[in-house]
Structure 1
Amino acid sequence: MTRRERPTPLLRALGLAAGWLVALTVPAAAGLCERTEFEGNGYVVCKLDSAAEPQLRLWLKDASGAPYRNFDRVRAALPADEVLGFAMNAGMYHADLSPVGLLVIDGEELAPIVTEGSRGNFGMRPNGVFCTGGRRPYQVVESRAFAKATPECRLASQSGPMLVIDGDLHPRFLEHSDSRYIRNGVGVSKDGETAWFAISDTSVTFHQFGRFFRDGLKARDALYFDGSISRLYAPELGRADWGRSMGPIIGLVAPK
């Protein structure tokens, strides 16, 4: 969603504590996620190379048509021989948990692209689309360019704003903004061979988060997924966040 109440420190602490117990029972796909620091702020980054793209998944609704809502339900739906290596919320959504913009799962368009500007973070153009399995393993494409080119995608999720556009920060980001939230997003390398899924440990501005992708990770393009409600599942780090229900969820599935 584009605006949410920030969880209290107590609720986030309780969520992480409960998530720790859940995560310890789940085998992890090793080497996916790591903690790092940039300009004094902590982040968790889950890095995927091109070989991992076929294992990436997007989830919205289960076989009965009900939204997954959380990581536990995604895990429960996996076959017995698969494990969830990592996962995070993957874009903004309406009150009924349906995506605000484009959503493509296994090549099927479940929600159409939105190219009009609007209020809120999603409509802060340029916004963009994260696309996998097309001409390049991973792409972040500005939404209007995406609508014009209609690239092939196995998975796609639209969100906004873009954080990094062809190596530059979004033009509307303010270096000294007082808008700070825990934020998550995805960035891709210039050659499309690498994707970084990142979440901040503490509240950061858009400018700080964009600099992390551009200068810390050297991402050529990056897309904001959301803020405040941002969640991460990373069992190798003993982390399984819980909180408000999520709409689209993205993650990596690996053999158990």
Structure 2
Amino acid sequence: MKYLAASIALLTLTACEQQPAGEPVARARIDGKTQPAPSPSPTPTETPTIASQVESACRSIIFEDTPLTHCLAIPSRHRIAMELGPDGEAPYRSLGALAKRRNARTIAFAMNGGMFDDEGKPIGYYVENSQRRKALNTADGAGNFHLKPNGVFFGSGDKWEVRATEDFLKNVTERPEFGTQSGPMLVIDGKIHPEITQNGPSRLIRNAVGVDDKGRAHFVITNAPLSFGRLARFYRDELNVKNALFLDGSVSSLWNPSTDRLDTGAPIGPIIVVERRSQSQ
């Protein structure tokens, strides 16, 4: 979405693999019911769906009374790419438009990823298929994007990172295969962004990404409004992620073919696509 022009005062503010050591964040489903037993395989008279055949990379959990969806991308299982729109055409502006163009069986999940202007084009650093479409944005200004430090989520092959913009500018010399800039950073080197309070008054549906010490990318989308502080704490305290980046709010959306989830809503901009690696690789 076009970045919010709200004042900083208002800004003070989801995995198939086993999670980091410790007690699970929650054992209940979002609706509070006991998790049901796995559904049996489709009978010959049923029409198989993607959701019945593919294990989900996302899980629903509760953190501090807020329902979240946590999706885990693992380098050995997934590849990550950015998509804005079909080549030579206008931006998709929705996950539904992307879904019409892609084979859902190859997609682990997709999520909006990065702030954008009125046309859906990125306002910060953006790299797609190793082609830089927008240079790094170091300008000052109002709104979430400019709440320094902001940062970049980027990577090539099976190495993915989140770095604060100044860190990226000083230390990343080779162009990555994908990259998207957003802001603010939620967690920087294990510490919560200095402008983010514990549980500020700004409450929205939000999404973010962080990369842990094992190189796994943790994507989170909230299923109810929450503060920047609570989202940052989830990354720092529960996921043990040292660097996490806020992706957007209000327009946050997720496509998870394995659960038939395809969010709709306000127009979006850049899209982070997490694809399944073929079993032969």
* TM-score interval, normalised by the smaller of the two chains: 0.7 to 0.9
Query: Are the counterparts in 2 of residues 131 and 139 from structure 1 also a CA contact under 8 Å?
Result: yes
Distance 2:185 2:268 in 1: 20
The answer for the alignment partner of 1:85 in structure 2 is 108
Query: Are the counterparts in 2 of residues 26 and 83 from structure 1 also a CA contact under 8 Å?
Result: no
Distance 2:95 2:61 in 1: 23
Q: 2:169 aligned with 1:147, yes or no?
A: yes
The answer for the alignment partner of 1:35 in structure 2 is 60
- Normalising by structure 1, report the TM-score: 0.84
Flag the 1:124–1:81 CA change in 2: closer, same or farther, 3 A. closer
The sequence identity of aligned pairs, in percent, is 33
One-letter code aligned to 1:90: G
How far apart are 1:225 and its partner, in Å? 0.3
Any gaps of 5 or more consecutive residues in structure 1? 5-23
Query: Are the counterparts in 2 of residues 184 and 198 from structure 1 also a CA contact under 8 Å?
Result: yes
Q: 2:64 aligned with 1:63, yes or no?
A: no
Query: Are the counterparts in 1 of residues 105 and 257 from structure 2 also a CA contact under 8 Å?
Result: no
How far apart are 1:25 and its partner, in Å? 8.8
- Please list the CA deviations of residues 214-242 of structure 1 after superposition, one character each: whole Å capped at 9, or x if unmatched: 11111111000001111111232332110
Any gaps of 5 or more consecutive residues in structure 2? 6-46
How far apart are 1:26 and its partner, in Å? 6.0
RMSD: 2.2
Q: 2:254 aligned with 1:232, yes or no?
A: yes
Distance 1:3 1:81 in 2: 32
2:227 aligned to which of 200, 205, 213: 205
SS at match of 1:51: coil
The answer for the alignment partner of 1:194 in structure 2 is 216
Superposition map of 1:42-53 within 5 A: 42-53=67-78
Query: Are the counterparts in 2 of residues 27 and 83 from structure 1 also a CA contact under 8 Å?
Result: no
One-letter code aligned to 1:206: F
- Please list the CA deviations of residues 159-190 of structure 1 after superposition, one character each: whole Å capped at 9, or x if unmatched: 00000001000000112411111110101113
Which structure: larger Rg?
2
Q: 2:128 aligned with 1:127, yes or no?
A: no
Distance 1:174 1:194 in 2: 27
Q: 2:206 aligned with 1:183, yes or no?
A: yes
The answer for the alignment partner of 2:125 in structure 1 is 102
SS at match of 1:244: coil
Distance 1:196 1:118 in 2: 28
Flag the 1:83–1:170 CA change in 2: closer, same or farther, 3 A. same
How far apart are 1:84 and its partner, in Å? 2.5
2:266 aligned to which of 220, 231, 244: 244
Which range moves more in the overlay, 109-118 or 162-171? 109-118
One-letter code aligned to 1:218: N
Query: Are the counterparts in 1 of residues 182 and 245 from structure 2 also a CA contact under 8 Å?
Result: yes
Distance 2:233 2:105 in 1: 35
The answer for the alignment partner of 2:194 in structure 1 is 171
- Normalising by structure 2, report the TM-score: 0.77
The structure richer in helix per residue is 1
1:158 aligned to which of 181, 185, 206: 181
One-letter code aligned to 2:72: K
